[in-house]
Amino acid sequence: MAFILLLPFILAGVVAVVAVVFTQLSTLRITSEGVEFRNYPQAARVIPLADVAQFEATPKVGNFAFLRPKTAALVLKDGTRIPVRTIASPDAGIGVEALNKRIASLRAQ
């Protein structure tokens, strides 16, 4: 009987751990060629810098929003939004503002 009562909490914990693991295994790198990212377990993609508009923070919604890792959306100039599971880049730093500053600095070169 106790197992049935604890099942929702166990499932929420497992989902939270999987989300954190997938976020930690995802990569992001911003270079003069473009934005290269890998949303684990998908293959890496490169978006040319000329097609990139900016990064936007993804809002946390739902009953278990506090369990959701910080993520972002890569917004292209045509309005397309591509989810990105990590907001840290070795070249730019951590956070959406740092990623957008890196894009702006590369465009200025």
Which pairs count as long-range contacts for 75-83, CB under 8 Å and 24+ apart, including other chains? 76/47, 76/51, 76/52, 77/50, 77/51, 77/52, 77/53, 78/51, 81/56, 82/45, 82/47, 83/39, 83/58
- Where does the pLDDT of residue 64 fall: very low under 50, low under 70, confident under 90, or very high at 90 and above? low
In one letter, which amino acid is 85?
Answer: R
- Is 68 or 92 the better-scoring residue by pLDDT? 92
Give the whole-angstrom CA distance, residue 82 versus residue 76: 8
Mean pLDDT of the chain: 87
Global pTM value:
0.76
Instruction: Evaluate whether 47 touches 34 at the Cβ level (below 8 Å).
Output: yes
- The CATH class for the domain spanning 2-108 reads mainly beta
Domain range summary for the chain, segments of one domain joined by +: 2-108
